[in-house]
Chains A and B, each alone.
Chain A
Amino acid sequence: MGLAVICSACAAPSLRYKKEINKLLAQNKIESADQHIRDKQNRMYAKKDIHLFLLDRATLLHDDGKPKESDELFAHAQERIDDLYTKSITAEAGTLLLNDLTVPYNVADYERAFTFFYRAMNFLQQKDIIGAAVEARKAVFFLDGLRGSKKTGYTDDPFIQYFASLVFESVGQVSDARISRQNALNAYQKQGEKMDVQTPNFSVPADADNLGEIILFHYNGLLPLKKTQTLQLAWDKAMSIASSPEETENHVAPEVQNAVYAGIMGSAVTISFPKLEEQSYHIASSVVVLDAQQYPLYKVANLAALAQQDLEENMPSIWFRTVTRAVVKQIVAVQARHAASQAAKDDSVGQLAGMIVGMLGSALEKADTRQWFTLPAEIHMTRIFVHPGKRDIHLLLRDKNGNIIGEKVFEDVIVRRGGRVFLHYRSAY
């Protein structure tokens, strides 16, 4: 029971739970996915990780075409993320004694950047270009800060810079648009090949002033999911067990599994760290069919690669904390064994005490598998200049062999002269 009490403070969305949500997303049952997240809030999200709960939900509401509700959640999430700047000394100490889940989820830089993108898109859906411009400015300010302070890893985001430039153009801030566009191009040149993304290169026709523009974002796929990789090493028996414990069919928690292995192995050290598991999806590309012409979409953002990069960037500190915890817990178990042996004047009592303390330590050893998992794996986009008017826009979804396996129709889209329409669609299958 004590284990349950302690472990409840270290709640994190399980791999099984994330896959359940993804399955609903793949079936386009977005409302059901959102309901499932709400139903599981208390079990999967610790109170200190309310921002993660909000982000996971807000994305789904955005995908479901509910920009106002989505933005309310994103706004709260952003406030919470800003508040989390203050680090708790006791919670940070917990990461060296218990596990990495004692501190609130530290939103990755790329996740933070995408909160600005999603909010801007929500404002655009509500025809609030000023609101979108505020988010674009926040995004650019944040990315400027990263570029100035970091040398490696996620130092800029070419897609978000490019998107910001479009928003700045829409509000007539031509200088800001030019700067963001240049930053985008620089970042695409630097990162494009590594991230497997294409530099947007959409030509603007000479008579663009007499035309309207459709900008369509296709959010595709499922983000790789973090899962726990565990190693248990018994020094004296030269034994080791490697596993990726998940909640079992009959709801046996990974913590209990770790404790059992540790008990079996006696004097064992448990090390847990996160790793990413790719999620499969079938759609590889998409194309817009409009006025009997085809306009391919280009992959301009690769969030799966960003997730991988972020994890790699954090692995050294994760390893440091994991190894420190293993040493601390081993010392505590040894001390417990000696103290119990001396108190009872019986070595077997001491061994039992040491084993129990060791099992408790193993149960508490959990990798930090938290992430904003409802993000898509990639973003494709296109820009199309059309004559003003009302029309239906067909988005065809293709698999890796070019076969059309899905379609989305945006009905009665009104494009005004000199105006821009921002559309988006989410596919997860």
Chain B
Amino acid sequence: MKKLCAVLLLLPLAFACSPSVKRVETNLVKDVGGGWNDTDAQMVAQEMITDCLGSGWYPKYTSKTGKEPVVIVGTVVNNTMEHINTGVFIEEMQRALINSGKVEFVASSSERGEVRTERLDQDEFASEETRKAFGKEIGADFMLSGVLNSVVDKASNKSLVFYQVNLKMINLETNQIVWNGQKQIKKYVKNSKVSW
């Protein structure tokens, strides 16, 4: 009887749970919820930028102008059913572009705002030798923008999620679309129906 009471009293401790935390490598591929995650953003950005810079428009431009193109990343519209931080995806694309060494890269419109504010500040407070002048920004030659779509097929505890990322490289002077890339990802998610 005493043993039984002791077991009953201690039983809750067996189920008492504080959250467990485990640090993992940032490049660990782990799908937890079945939605769009950082691995998808990295993988898609890397593959699409590689495809973009390897396509015909690049050598055509460099041979015609004799210089590397200046690129800016515009918006990536989220047309899926998930709240996806497209900022992460855009950062991945920027990283891939800069690290390729094949393009020159300029700040996006939101970043430029901050830079211009700093320049205004310098105009007032910085010494003449060190302040940065206005009117010397490099204009972009091309803009990369795109859209993220998804199609979900769901039945009971299973769902099939299909993501499609479409990116376009647009000539800012002529509006020509010089490259149109697409990357697809499909995920099969199964939730358990029962538990004890």
Contact = CB atoms under 8 A, between A and B. Distances in A.
| Candidate in A75, A90, A137 with the most chain B CB atoms within 10 angstroms | A137
A235 interface: no
B82 interface: yes
Interface string A91-133: 0000000000000000000000000000000000000001101
A87 B193 CA distance: 6
B16 to A, nearest CB: 13
Interface residues of B, number: 16
Interface of A: 75, 85-90, 130-131, 133-134, 137-138, 141, 145, 173
Contacts of B192: 86
A90 B83 contact: no
10 contacts: A75-B83, A85-B191, A86-B191, A130-B78, A134-B80, A134-B81, A134-B82, A137-B80, A137-B81, A145-B154
B77 A89 contact: no
Contacts of B157: 85
B100 to A, nearest CB: 29
Contacts of B82: 134
B81 A89 contact: no
Interface of B: 77-83, 152, 154, 157, 191-196
B19 to A, nearest CB: 14
Contact of A89 (B83, B154, B195): B195
Contacts of B191: 85-86
Contacts of A85: 157, 191, 193
A139 to B, nearest CB: 10
Contact of B83 (A134, A141, A173): A134
A88 B194 CA distance: 6
Contact of B194 (A75, A86, A130, A145): A86
A118 B78 CA distance: 20
Contacts of A145: 154
Task: Tell me the dominant secondary structure on chain A's binding face.
Answer: helix
Nearest to B86: A130
Contacts of A138: 81
Contacts of A75: 83
A141 B194 contact: no
Contacts of B80: 134, 137
Which residue of B78, B81, B191, B196 has the most chain A CB atoms within 10 A of its CB atom? B81
A84 to B, nearest CB: 10
A131 B83 contact: yes
B35 to A, nearest CB: 10
A412 to B, nearest CB: 25
Given A131-B83, A134-B83, A145-B154, A86 B195 contact: yes
Nearest to B156: A85
A90 B196 contact: yes
A134 B78 contact: yes
Nearest to B84: A134
Contacts of A173: 79
A410 B115 CA distance: 36
